[in-house]
Chains A and B, each alone.
Chain A
């Protein structure tokens, strides 16, 4: 089996008595774009810093391009970093910032030539001699990306680079970054807490929680087949209902009793287990159907979102049951009514419920 381009093996990191990384293993292939997705405190930035060599791990190896880089200082690893706050050198101009890592590697003229090329690639040609302090957030971030890529690193790490930008700018930058990385063939690992960003940009996503990778998969696989209830909840919207397994039917269909009635799902759980049921909003339809799980909850809200409509129904849990449809709704739907809805057993996602939490 070919060794992955980047491999992190069993990385463990403690800060005092807190375990920030609990034995994380990750493999990334050459040219791939992988996101580390998770809430604050899940360890994604720490993992990034360990790969970069800016923080040391108590246990674990990092291998890049067939080489063990675990003991190497950051400046010898050939790994580039784009920081969340850009970290541009305030005493240097834009062009000097981009050329910074090239000094000593190539001649001065060559450095200027390469830096200018990257300046063009990020559309900042007119800003070459400006001070970086006069730049807007988006402009600074482009310079930061150009600076990191100018030295042609084997791997580029990005730590929530777009979190300080407004939505429109963020979307533009996401497209530009992917285009640039594809053009250069650079492998990238991208840290974010924004699932939309991860879904849009990544070849694969690593969902992290409390120092562990809960699931590492393509965006589609992650969305349609979340491996844990955390992944279900963190990626995409879903309806969540608690239930208990009461029996099996025809071998592969499980019966689960919830406060809304009995639900059927394709899953294997021991009788009596406490479970969480999840359903994606676009998999629920209006109206009852044979062979589907049907319930009749009370309609609370109609949320019109332009291309889609969301219907929110009352649930015994804290969160509403959400139905999403891109078709036009039938008239006569009024909040307060009891409306029949249904979904297929195959779309019923089931996860063990940790009742100790």
Chain B
């Protein structure tokens, strides 16, 4: 058995080797290439990129939309996670199905559907005119609002599920204990329930924010070319404009942003999960 333990570690070799060669090395190559000029190490491309005000608009767009999408998902997803944890029977099945089914369907299908929904004569428009919120039909397609709505729709399950997985582990006796100690319901929520859900919230925010920062198909279909994010700009650079230099730079910036989000969230998660 002693030799067994040290040998079994080698089972990891194929997967690790594969990913290193196919994934890690190319990524490193991409990073290094963006930092190489004709005479070796150079940040020239980056200097040019950050000197251009257009670049900052693109970064701003990316972060703003991702932030809005995350906030919307958090506001809707937090209560829904509680509802899911408390639901039983048919209601639970409906909620689970409504969350899991969209996850199983491609982003192209969903983005395309929102194209239909957000048009001037689409369902949302008709509904809002019908209830009197709008005086006349308006177009939500190719607007930031429409983009946030569509993206929030696609990413909502990724906020609900992490929070749900934490909420369902919380002992209901804890809130009862708080009540018997004379603490009012509002205080109980902020002092007991909310702190215990923080790991789930951090996880959900990390997921949704990084997904929203990287999204490509959704903005392509819902907001068009006049509005660029880092991801759409990267895609266009490679696929349409054949400007691989610019593409490499934006890809690197995007990569650094994504890695920062992951590292920050895992740091936060460790601090928040101190006692739980």
Direct contact of A and B (CB under 8 A): yes
| Residues on A facing B (Cβ under 8 Å) | 52-54, 73-76, 78-81, 83, 85, 87-93, 100-101, 103-105, 131-133, 147-148, 151
| A74 pairs with B171, CB closer than 8 A | no
Instruction: Report yes or no: A78 in contact with B181, Cβ–Cβ below 8 A.
Output: no
Contact check, A73 vs B181: say whether CB atoms are below 8 A apart: no
B147 CB-CB contact with A under 8 Å: no
B179 proximal to A (CB < 8 A): yes
* Chain A residues closer than 8 Å to B121, beta-carbon distance: none
Determine the chain A residues whose CB is within 8 A of the CB of B187 once the complex forms.
104
B173 touching A83 by the CB < 8 A rule? yes
Residues of chain A with a CB closer than 8 A to B196's CB: 90-91
- B259 contacts partner chain A, Cβ-Cβ < 8 Å: no
Chain A, Cβ-Cβ closest to B180: A81
A75 touches B171 (CB 8 A): no
Contact A91 B181 (CB under 8 A): no
Instruction: Give Cα A191 to B180, complex, Å.
Output: 17
Residues B165-222 near A (CB distance < 8 A): 171, 173-174, 176-185, 187-188, 191-192, 195-196
B179 contact from A74, A89, A131, Cβ within 8 A? A74
With known contacts A90-B196, A131-B275, A133-B275, A83–B176 Cβ distance under 8 A: yes
Is B174 a contact partner of A52 (Cβ separation < 8 A)? no
A100 — which chain B residues lie within 8 A by C-beta?
Answer: 178, 181, 183, 191
Residue contact A101 to B176, C-beta cutoff 8 Å: no
Residues in B neighbouring A93, C-beta threshold 8 A: 275
Bound Cα distance A74, B175 (Å) = 11
Interface residue? B104 (CB, 8 A): no
* CB neighbours of A76 from chain B (8 A): 182
Q: Judge whether B182 and A105 touch: CB under 8 Å.
A: yes
A87 to B174, Cβ gap below 8 A?
A: yes
8 A Cβ contacts from B232-276 to A: 274-276
- Assess A80 versus B174: contact at CB under 8 Å? Given A89-B192, A90-B196, A91-B196: no
B interface size (C-beta, 8 A)? 22
Query: Of A92, A101, A133, which is within 8 A of B181 by CB?
Result: A101
Number of A-B contacts (CB under 8 A): 73
Q: How far does the alpha carbon of A101 sit from the alpha carbon of B179 in the complex, in Å?
A: 9
User: Which chain A residue has the least Cβ–Cβ distance from B199?
Assistant: A91
Closest residue of A by beta carbon distance from B187: A104
Query: What are the residues of chain A within 8 A of B188 when measuring CB–CB?
Result: 75
* Residues A52 and B180 in contact in the complex (CB < 8 Å), given A75-B185, A91-B275, A131-B275: yes
* Residue in contact with A91 in the complex, picked from B176, B179, B182, B276, CB distance below 8 Å: B276
Residues facing A in B156-171 (CB within 8 A) are 171
Please list the residues of chain B having a beta carbon within 8 angstroms of any beta carbon in chain A: 171, 173-174, 176-185, 187-188, 191-192, 195-196, 274-276
State whether B180 touches A148 (Cβ < 8 A): yes
Contact B192 A79 (CB under 8 A): no
A92 to B177: give the CA distance in the assembly, Å. 14
Interface centre among B174, B178, B181, B276, by most chain A C-beta atoms within 10 angstroms, is B181
State how many angstroms separate the Cβ of B253 from the closest Cβ of chain A. Answer: 37
In angstroms, how far is the closest chain A Cβ from the Cβ of B100? 29
Bound CA span A93–B195, Å: 13
Looking at the assembled complex, report how far the CB atom of B193 sits from the nearest CB atom of chain A, in whole angstroms. Answer: 10
A73 with B179, Cβ < 8 A, contacts A91-B276, A104-B187 known? yes
**Nearest chain A CB to B48 CB, angstrom units:** 49
The residues of A that contact B182 with a CB separation of less than 8 Å are: 75-76, 78, 101, 105, 151
Partner of B180, one of A75, A92, A105: A75
Known A-B contacts: A73-B179, A75-B179, A151-B182. Give 20 more (CB < 8 A). A54-B179, A54-B180, A73-B185, A74-B179, A75-B180, A75-B183, A75-B188, A80-B180, A80-B181, A83-B173, A83-B176, A87-B176, A90-B276, A91-B195, A91-B274, A101-B181, A101-B183, A132-B275, A133-B275, A148-B181
Min CB distance, B220 to chain A, in Å?
Answer: 43
- Expressed in whole angstroms, the Cα–Cα distance for A53 and B177 within the complex equals 12
Q: How far is the CA of A81 from the CA of B173 in the complex (A)?
A: 11
With the chains together, A90 CA to B192 CA distance in Å? 9
Contact A151 B171 (CB under 8 A): no
Q: Across the interface, which residues of B come within 8 angstroms of A74, CB to CB?
A: 176, 179-180
Chain A residue numbers with a CB within 8 Å of B274 are: 91, 131
Complex CA gap A92/B173 in Å reads 15
A87 to B179, Cβ gap below 8 A? no
Which B residues lie within 8 Å of A87 (CB)? 171, 173-174, 176-177
Give every chain B residue within 8 A of A89 (Cβ-Cβ).
Answer: 174, 177, 192
Residues of A within 8 A of B178 (CB): 75, 100
Q: Tell me which of B174, B177, B188, B191 has the highest count of chain A C-beta atoms within 10 A of its own C-beta.
A: B177
CB proximity of B185 to chain A, nearest CB, Å: 7
Q: List 8 A-B contacts (CB under 8 A).
A: A75-B188, A80-B181, A81-B177, A91-B275, A101-B183, A105-B182, A133-B275, A148-B180
